[in-house]
Structure 1
Amino acid sequence: MKGIIAATYAPMDQNGLLNTDIIEGYGSFLVANKVSGAFVNGSTGDFTALSSIERKELIEVWSQQRSEGLFLINHVGHNNLKEAVELAAHSADMVDATAALPPFYFRPKTLDDLVFYCKQIAQAAPGIPFYYYHIPILTKVSLPMLGFIEKAKEQIPNFAGIKYTEDNLSDFKQCVHKGDGSLDMFFGIDEKYIDSIRVGAQGWVGSTYNHLAPLYHEVARQVDQDRWDAARKLQGKAIHFVQVLEALGGYHGGGKSFMRYFGLDMGPSRFPHKTFNDSLLSQAIRSFEKEGLSGYLAKPFHGDSVV
Structure 2
Amino acid sequence: MGELAIEVKGLRKRFGAQIVLDGIDLAVPAGTVYALLGPNGAGKTTLIHILSTLVAPDEGSVRVAGYDVVSDKNMVKRSISLTGQFAAVDDVLTAEENLRMICRLSGLTSAESRARTEELLHYFDLDAAAKKRVKTYSGGMRRRLDIAISLVTSRPVLFLDEPTTGLDTISRRSLWEIINRLKDQGITVFLTTQYLEEADQLADIITVIDDGHVVATGTAKELKSRVGDEVIELRNGNDDLIRTVSTTGSMLDIRQTLNELASMVPQDLRVSIRKPSMDDVFLALTTKEMERSLS
Q: TM-score range by the shorter chain?
A: 0.3 to 0.5
More strand by share: 2
Larger radius of gyration: 2
**So what's the TM-score if we normalise by structure 1?**
0.39
More helix by share: 1
**So what's the TM-score if we normalise by structure 2?**
0.41
